[in-house]
Structure 1
Amino acid sequence: MAAHDLASDFTDLPRSQRLKAATRATHDRLDRRIMAGDIFADRGRFARFVRVQYRFHRDIDALYAHPALDALLPDLAGRRRLDQIASDLRDLGQALPTPAQPKAEAGLPLAQALGWLYVAEGSNLGGSVLYKLAAKLGLDREFGARHLAAHPDGVARHWREFTAALDSAALDAAQERDLVAGAEAAFRSVRGHVEAEFA
């Protein structure tokens, strides 16, 4: 589904669900590629996945200081996970991936930035499933899997608060397209990091 379809297709659905539909194919391909890496086979392979997470969250770290996003999204600073991921990597005996140019700058237009954060917040939602699998490796919110642990308010509530803000944002047609473009760019960024770590 092309980016321009968000506003015209599934018009009876909230924006967050239309965005999910518009990016489903890209998202599904990414999920399959990650799971093909057999990330729960052992701690070493899981560490590669955490490195992917670190690279992506380093890409978007500037967005947590984005003034327009801060005004729109509840507890924006509290949604930042880069430090937790860094701690998980240290637990796993991993050096932090070498610095790279961030992909999502703080000055990114609001709708594109929302698309990037949609991907990050969606990974939080999926993280609750991965957290249970990480437990089989002896990892938890105290060691090695902090970034996958549910928010104290509950992962579902945290997601609903994000999607409610996304659904209520005032976006014009061009911004609707930018929203999808931002999410697609974020998924592609993660895919690139997966290929770098699992090649």
Structure 2
Amino acid sequence: MTDRRKLLRDHTNHLHKKLDDNVGPLGSNEQYLRYLHGMLQFRHPLEQQIAASKIPAEFDDFVPSMISEEIESDLRSLDTKPIFLPASITEPQPFELSQLLGVLYVLEGSSLGAHFLVKQAHQLGFGEANGASHLAKQTSRKGNWKAFCALLEQIETIDEKAMTSAARTTFSLALDAFEKV
């Protein structure tokens, strides 16, 4: 494990565990719909901020995984209207590089958990064509996590305090989203 990845893991482990406990296993259709709504509330505003951010040249082999459009599509395919809670930020604010890395640590790391969730969704009858296209997209980019971890170490000038703060905030935003759905 790289130094920065370990730093991020150590500073967010308690929040990560709390989020995993809050989301829980996806053992029913109701739990799966709650998961979809929570993910949309969590990811949509962050992905807008990422889109508004300047992606550095160092990101050449790494492309952030954006899945909120697929989550919306998944909800519609299940005859459920995507619901957006009122956002506190009306205009997406771009992230600074260190913040961006902290946010992406959480978002890209969720692709690892998506490998477990895709199996649970499949057991409920959801697949790429009906309700789990976001999971299919998340799990299809197998080298993205490794590319992100390499990027963490390659970038020389990072404000590690800002990076870890952004990662903690991102986990807190996820917890908040799942508590509201």
TM-score normalised according to structure 1 size:
0.80
Q: Secondary structure at the match of 1:56?
A: helix
Contact 2:53/2:96 (<8 A) preserved = no
The match for 1:17 among 6, 16, 27 is: 6
Mapped to 2, the partners of 1:126 and 1:108 lie a distance apart of 25
Equivalent residues in 2 for 1:177-196, closer than 5 Å: 177-196=161-180
**Which structure 1 segments of 5+ residues have no match?**
1-11
Tell me, in whole angstroms, the C-alpha distance in 1 between the residues paired with 2:160 and 2:2: 14
Quick one: which of 17, 26, 29 aligns to 1:28? Answer: 17
Task: Give the TM-score of the pair, scaled to structure 2.
Answer: 0.87
Task: Give 3-state SS (helix, strand or coil) of 1:160's partner.
Answer: helix
Matched, 1:129 2:116: yes
Please show how residues 87-98 of structure 1 align to structure 2 within 5 Å: 87-98=73-84
The answer for the alignment partner of 1:147 in structure 2 is 134
1:32, 1:152 → 2: CA distance? 25
Paired residues of 2:42 and 2:173 also in contact (CA < 8 A): yes
2:28 to 20, 42, 48: 42
1: CA distance, partners of 2:77 / 2:43:
18
Q: Deviations over 1:70-118 (max 9, x none)?
A: 53323436x2111111111112222111253266944222211211111
Q: Check whether the contact 2:108–2:145 (CA below 8 A) recurs between aligned residues.
A: yes
What residue in structure 1 maps to residue 51 of structure 2?
A: 64
Supply the RMSD in Å over aligned alpha carbons: 2.1
Relative to 1, partners in 2 of residues 1:19 and 1:88: Cα closer, same or farther, differing over 3 Å?
A: same
Deviation at 1:179, TM superposition (A): 0.4
Q: Percent identity?
A: 26
> Could you tell me which residue of structure 2 aligns to residue 113 of structure 1?
100
Q: Compute the displacement of 1:119 (Å).
A: 0.7
Confirm or deny: 8 A CA contact 1:60 1:102 kept in the other structure: no
User: Which 4+ residue blocks in structure 1 deviate beyond 3 angstroms?
Assistant: 102-106, 150-153
1:196, distance to aligned residue in structure 2 (A): 0.5
- The secondary structure found in structure 2 opposite 1:139 is coil
CA distance in 1, matches of 2:62, 2:98: 18
The number of aligned residues is 177
Q: Is the 8 A contact 2:52 2:94 kept in 1?
A: no
Deviation at 1:65, TM superposition (A): 3.9
Q: CA deviation at 1:163?
A: 1.1
